[in-house]
Amino acid sequence: MSDFRRIIAKRKRQDFVFNIIGIVCTLVGILTLGALLVDLLVDGLPRLSLTFLSSFPSRFAEQAGILSSWVGTILIMIVTACAAVPLGVAAGVYLEEYARKNWLTNLIEINIANLAGVPSIIYGLMALGLLVYQFRLGQSVLTGGLTLAFLILPIVIVATREALRTIPQGIREAAYALGSTKWQVVRHHLLPYSVGGTMTGIIIALSRAIGETAPLITIGALTFIAFLPPPPVQAQPPFISFGWIWSPFSVLPIQMFNWVSRPDQAFAVNAAAAGLVLIVVTLSLNAIAILIRYRVRKRIKW
Amino acid sequence: METDWGLAAEETLRPSPRPKVTAARRLSYLKERAIESLLLFAAFSSVAITLGIVSILIYESSTFFAHVSLREFFTDTLWTPLFASPRFGILPLVMGTLVTTAVALVVALPIGTVVAVYLSEFAPPSVREIIKPALELLSAVPTVVYGYFALQFMSPLLQKIIPGLPTFNMLSAGVVMGIMIIPYVSSLSEDAMRAVPMSLREGAYALGANRIITALKVVYPAALSGIVASYILAISRAIGETMIVAIAAGMQPNLTLDPREPAATITAFIVQVSLGDLPHGSIGYQSIFAAGMTLFVMTLVFNILGYMLRKRFREVY
C-alpha cells in the first residue's frame, strides 16, 4: 500500500514540476514582449513629441522626425487595402460559395496555402522585377501598395473563407427558397453576416503590412525623403488628384531601420521613438481585431 | 376521400409553368455569370502571383547563371558580387541563414512545444483565454522592432554572459527570432493537441497515467501531424526572416558554424544590395535574384517536406 502511495506522490510531483516548467516557458514569451515594450518606452518616449511627428528626416538626430514616413505608411496602406480587400474577399467568396470541386479549384487552394509560406522578401523581388521594371510603375506608392497587397492577399482570402464557413447552410437555403439568385444570397446575406470575421482578418492583415519592411526596401523605397507626396485634394478643379500614387515614398519601418543601422547612438533614440509609434499602431490594430472577434462571437448565435 | 396523397403532393410541388424568358431574366442570368467569372478571376489572381514570382525569379536568375556557372555558385566559398573581382559562392550566405535558423529553432521548438502542452493539457481555461492571444501578439510585433531589440537589448545582455561577443552576431539575432516564432509553434501545436479526442486522454487516465505522461505519450503522438506542420511553418519563417538578421547579425558574408560570429544571411544580402543604387541589369542586380531563388527553393523544399511528414504522421480518429 505504501508503494502505491509513493507512486502516486511521484506522479503528482511530476505533474507539478511540468506545471512549473510550462509557466516558466510561457513567461519567457510574455516577459520578452514586456521587456521589448519597456525598452522602447525607456529609450524612445522622451524623444516622442509633436515636432518629432511633424519633422522631416535630417542629418542631425535631434532635428529628425517621421513626417514623411508616417504619411508614406498611410498612403501605402490605402493602396494596399484598396487592392487586397476587394480581391481577397472576392476570391474567398468564390472558393467558398461558387467553386466546384475540380482541378482548378484544387490548384488555387494548394497555391494559396503555399503563398502563405513564401518569405516576404521574395514578394519584394517579384515586385522589383515585374512591377518596377516590366510594368514600369517605378519605385512609387502604387508599386509599394500593390506589393504589400500581394503579400496579405492569402490572409484576407483565408479569413473571408473562415467567416463564410461559420454561416449555417440553412441561411443560404432559406434565401434560395425565396427565389434569390446566388449573387443575391452572397450580397444580401452572406457578406453582411460574415463582416465581423472578415474585418478581423483584414485588420490583422493590414497590421502585418504596416510592419513589413523587407519587400519595400527591395523594390527601392527611399530611406531619406524630405518632401511630401502631392496632396490628394487640390484647390482648383478637378479637386482630387492621384499624383501621390506615383510619388516616391518612405514608410515608418524603413525610417526606423535607417536609424537603427547608424552607429550614432543619438539615432538609436530616434529609432526607438519610431518603433514606439509603430508598435502602438500595430498592437492597437490587433486589439481592435480581437475586440471585434469577441463581440461578433458574443452577438451572433445561430 | 380516396385521394392518392403522393400524387397530389407531387402536383403541388410541380414547378409552375416555365415563365417566358424575358429580356430582364436573360439580363439577370448574364449578370450572375459575369459576377461568377469576376470572382473566379479574383481567385485566380493568387495563382497569377505565384506565376509572377516563379517566372521573375527564373527569368532574372537565368541571366545571372549565364555569367556564373552553377558549379561556382554552389562550391565557391566566397560571396563578393560587388567587388572588382567578384566571386559568386552562395555557401556563406546559405550557412548564415542555416545558423541563424538553427539558433531560432533551438529557442522556439522546445519552448513553443512546452507552452503548447501546458496550454492544452495543464492550464485552466481562464488562463488559456488570456495567455494565448497575449502570446500571439509576439508575432504581431513588426520585425524591424525585433531587430532593434536584438541589437540594443539582447546583444548587450548576451555580451555580459559571453565575454568577447561582437555587437553584431548571429546568436542574438537567432534568439530574438526564436522568441518571435514561439507563437507559430505554440498556437498551431495547441490547436492540434486540443483536437485529440478526450476519450484517448480518459483511456490513459484510466490506466493510471498522470497528466504529463498522458500529454507526452498519448496526446503528443496523436497530434504529431499538426505539430510537425507548426514546426515546418516555424522553419520557413526563420529562413525567410529578414529585418532581424539584417539589423543584428551583420552584413558580411562569413562561412562559419559559430553563432557567436557575425554573418550575413541570404535575406540580409538582398536588403543590403537593395539599399544601394545598383543599375538595372547589372550582375549585382541579378545576384539578388539568384540569392532569392535559392531562398525560395529552400522554403519550398521545407514546405514539401512538411506536406509529406504531415501525411506520414496523420492519425485519423
Collect all residues of chain B within an 8 Å Cβ-Cβ radius of residue A210.
142
What 3-state DSSP class applies to B312?
helix
What 3-state DSSP class applies to B176?
helix
CA dihedral (B44, B47, B53, B56) positive or negative: negative
Tens digits of residue pLDDT in B203-220: 999 998 899 999 999 999
Q: What is the dihedral of CA A61, A64, A65, A69, to 10 degrees?
A: -100
Q: What is the chain A residue with the closest CA to B132?
A: A26
CB atoms B141 and A211 under 8 Å: yes
Question: Which residues 6+ apart lie within 8 Å of B66 measured at CB?
Answer: none
Confidence of residue B2 (pLDDT cuts 50, 70, 90): very low
Burial of residue B3 (CB within 10 Å: 0-12, 13-18, 19+) is exposed
* Preceding omega of A238 cis (within 30 degrees of 0): yes
Q: How far is B74 from chain A (nearest CA, A)?
A: 20
Q: What is the chain A residue with the closest CA to B208?
A: A8
Comparing B80 with B42, which gets the higher pLDDT?
A: B42
Question: Which residues 6+ apart lie within 8 Å of A171 measured at CB?
Answer: A189, A190, A193
Tell which B residues from 130 to 149 touch A, by Cβ distance under 8 Å.
131, 133-135, 137-138, 140-149
CATH number of the domain bearing residue B286: 1.10.3720.10
Tell which B residues from 34 to 63 touch A, by Cβ distance under 8 Å.
35-36, 38-40, 42-47, 49-50, 52-53, 56-57, 59-60
Distances (CA, A) of B317 to B133, B201, B223, B226: 29, 13, 11, 14
Comparing B75 with B12, which gets the higher pLDDT?
A: B75
How confident is the prediction for chain B on average, in pLDDT? 88
Collect all residues of chain B within an 8 Å Cβ-Cβ radius of residue A154.
46
Taking residues B101-120, report their average pLDDT. Answer: 95
Contact A109, A95 (CB under 8 A): yes
Q: How far is A29 from chain B (nearest CA, A)?
A: 6
pLDDT at position B1 is 45
In this predicted structure, the answer to whether residue B6 has a pLDDT above a threshold of 60 is no
Tens digits of residue pLDDT in A64-104: 888 888 989 999 999 999 999 999 999 999 999 998 888 88
CA dihedral (B254, B256, B258, B264) positive or negative: positive
Contact A43, A55 (CB under 8 A): no
pTM to 2 decimal places: 0.88
Number of domains in chain B: 1
CB atoms A214 and B210 under 8 Å: no
First to last CA, chain A: 54
Closest listed residue to residue B317, CA positions, set B198, B215, B228, B187? B198
In this predicted structure, the answer to whether residue A142 has a pLDDT above a threshold of 80 is yes
Interface test with B, best of A30, A97, A182, A260 (most B CBs within 10 A): A260
Percent of chain A with pLDDT over 70: 95
**Backbone torsions φ then ψ of A250, nearest 5 degrees:** -130, 160
Collect all residues of chain B within an 8 Å Cβ-Cβ radius of residue A135.
none
What 3-state DSSP class applies to A62?
coil
Tens digits of residue pLDDT in A193-217: 898 889 999 999 999 999 999 999 9
Interface test with A, best of B107, B128, B148 (most A CBs within 10 A): B148
Cell 504529463 belongs to residue: B212
Percent of chain B with pLDDT over 90: 53
Which CATH fold would you assign to the domain A49-299?
Answer: MetI-like fold (1.10.3720)
* B147 in any annotated domain: yes
Q: Which domain holds residue B142?
A: 91-313
In this predicted structure, the answer to whether residue B280 has a pLDDT above a threshold of 70 is yes
In this predicted structure, the answer to whether residue A238 has a pLDDT above a threshold of 90 is no
Closest listed residue to residue B48, CA positions, set A90, A126, A156? A126
Taking residues B224-248, report their average pLDDT. Answer: 91
Question: Which residues 6+ apart lie within 8 Å of A292 measured at CB?
Answer: A196, A199, A200, A203
Closest partner residue to A118 (CB to CB) among B39, B247, B299 is B299
Tens digits of residue pLDDT in A111-130: 888 888 899 999 999 999 99
In this predicted structure, the answer to whether residue A46 has a pLDDT above a threshold of 80 is yes
* A278 vs B136: CA distance, rounded Å: 17
Give ipTM to 2 decimals: 0.89
Query: Of the given ranges (A95-104, A232-241, B194-203, B290-299), which has the lowest mean pLDDT?
Result: A232-241
